[in-house]
């Protein structure tokens, strides 16, 4: 999974990135301190892996991973070259979802690029830059295909679709709200354009420490972001980037105590991972044995052969069956042998839809 982090300068974007990835991206109290896109890979916390590791006396534990791309702070006019310009938007075209950091706190020591704190205005500013960038992409595609469209009905159909999407964007609307899709072919084309405004969005409402305990319930700016996100079918999580940076320096036991002192049950990273799995419709299945215990991320609704293909294409091509026990059943039985005796280890075929927490051994023949 790959997430792109965007936001205006000085909203806490690079501070959050640093704390999530411990990659040390430069963070300073002025715009454009991130000159190149920073990339960091974060492992997905999953206590199930450690439990299975002990049960199987495994040599190696491999969690799922998320790649974060931190983009330089955008400003009004970025798509026309203002600030650091539109070049950075290209860096998030390949991400699965966008994490939009929005400042929901007042602090006279940290300047805001627009002089005041207004999260909905900030969201609109970023959205417009993403829209302008998408319009530019479509204009190029249309210009390239226009001549061929005169003699090719399929290309003409696609050009007509691009024109409709472009008109939709020019009304200030996001591509994900475009619904004038005639068939599966057009839906596939729209997905293939990799438009920024078609990607799922997770809003990170950045607050001060005092707003963390009640998850921002008493913060009007956070509520405004939540109301907006609900209309847009987006996810929101409340985070204090500064606190996350402090947490990032602690070991697991210290981190747990620190969070308890703050009245929190999970870190911002854990909130973000849950939000990203929800909005992208992802789950994890597990493989376990002495060589390694590993988590594999797949889309909800994935059938067994395609899940096997995540490990290796040969597994999918030569799929015979899957031997499966749920993590919950295995924990209740205590051992794999006990789960088998109780009939909780199942053999499933090609039509089986993999569930979150399934522990799977694939049988295949190539």
The stretch 87-101 carries a mean pLDDT of: 82
Higher pLDDT pick, 11 / 190: 190
> In the chain, which ranges are continuous DSSP H helix?
13-21, 47-56, 119-149, 153-170, 184-192, 220-232, 241-247, 252-261, 268-280, 304-311, 313-317, 327-333, 336-341
Q: Which of 40-44, 258-262, 274-278, 339-343 has the highest mean pLDDT?
A: 339-343
Higher pLDDT pick, 288 / 251: 288
With beta carbons less than 8 A apart as the criterion, state whether 205 and 238 touch.
yes
Q: Indicate the annotated binding residues for ATP.
A: 10-15
Separation between Cα atoms, residue 43 and residue 66, nearest integer Å: 6
pLDDT at 63 over 80: yes
Q: Which of 6-20, 96-110, 155-169, 257-271 has the highest mean pLDDT?
A: 155-169
| Residue 216: exposure state from Cβ atoms within 10 A (0-12, 13-18, ≥19) | buried
DSSP state letters, 246-300: HHTTS-HHHHHHHHHHTT-SS-HHHHHHHHHHHHHTEEEEEEESSS-EEEEEEET
Strand 97-103 with 65-70, pairing:
unpaired
Q: Which of 22-31, 211-220, 252-261, 335-344 has the highest mean pLDDT?
A: 335-344
CA distance readout (Å), 8 to 27, 34, 150, 358 = 13, 12, 43, 41
The stretch 111-129 carries a mean pLDDT of: 85
Strand 201-206 with 235-239, pairing:
parallel
Q: Indicate the annotated binding residues.
A: 10-15
With beta carbons less than 8 A apart as the criterion, state whether 18 and 206 touch.
no
Higher pLDDT pick, 250 / 92: 250
Tens of pLDDT, residues 200-256 = 999 999 999 999 888 899 999 999 999 999 999 999 999 998 898 888 888 878 988
CA distance readout (Å), 68 to 33, 96, 167 = 17, 10, 32
Separation between Cα atoms, residue 264 and residue 256, nearest integer Å: 9
Tens of pLDDT, residues 159-209 = 999 999 999 999 999 999 999 998 999 999 999 999 999 999 999 999 999
With beta carbons less than 8 A apart as the criterion, state whether 248 and 19 touch.
yes
With beta carbons less than 8 A apart as the criterion, state whether 69 and 92 touch.
yes
Separation between Cα atoms, residue 284 and residue 53, nearest integer Å: 16
pLDDT at 92 over 80: no
Average pLDDT value for the chain: 88
């Amino acid at each position: 999974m790959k997430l792109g982090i965007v936001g205006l300068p000085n909203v806490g974007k690079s501070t959050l990135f640093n704390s999530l990835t411990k990659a040390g991206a430069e963070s300073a109290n002025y715009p454009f301190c991130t000159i190149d896109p920073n990339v960091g890979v974060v492992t997905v916390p999953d206590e199930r892996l450690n439990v299975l590791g002990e049960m199987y006396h495994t040599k190696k534990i491999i969690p799922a991973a998320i790649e974060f791309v931190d983009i330089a702070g955008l400003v009004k006019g970025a798509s026309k070259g203002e600030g650091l310009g539109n070049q950075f938007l290209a860096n998030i075209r390949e991400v699965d979802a966008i994490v939009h950091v929005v400042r929901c706190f007042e602090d006279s020591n940290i300047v805001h690029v627009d002089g005041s704190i207004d999260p909905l205005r900030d969201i609109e500013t970023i959205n417009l830059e993403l829209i302008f960038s998408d319009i530019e992409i479509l204009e190029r595609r249309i210009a390239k295909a226009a001549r061929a469209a005169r003699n090719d009905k399929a290309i003409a159909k696609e050009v007509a679709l691009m024109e409709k999407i472009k008109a939709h964007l020019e009304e200030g609307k996001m591509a994900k709200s475009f619904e004038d899709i005639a068939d599966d072919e057009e839906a596939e084309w729209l997905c293939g354009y990799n438009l920024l405004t078609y990607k799922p969005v997770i809003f990170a409402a950045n607050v001060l420490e005092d707003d963390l305990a009640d998850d921002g319930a008493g913060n009007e700016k956070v509520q405004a972001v939540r109301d907006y996100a609900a209309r847009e079918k987006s996810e929101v999580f409340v985070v204090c980037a500064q606190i996350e940076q402090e947490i990032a320096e602690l070991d697991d036991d210290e981190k747990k105590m620190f969070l308890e002192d703050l009245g929190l049950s999970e870190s911002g990273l854990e909130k973000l991972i849950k939000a990203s799995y929800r909005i992208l419709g992802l789950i994890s299945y597990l493989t376990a044995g002495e060589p390694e215990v590993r988590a594999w991320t797949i889309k909800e609704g994935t059938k067994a052969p395609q899940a096997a293909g995540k490990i290796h294409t040969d597994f999918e091509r030569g799929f015979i069956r899957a031997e499966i026990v749920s993590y919950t059943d295995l924990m209740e039985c205590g051992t794999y042998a006990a789960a088998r005796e109780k009939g909780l280890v199942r053999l499933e075929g090609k039509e089986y839809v993999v569930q979150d927490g399934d522990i799977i051994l694939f049988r295949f023949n190539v």
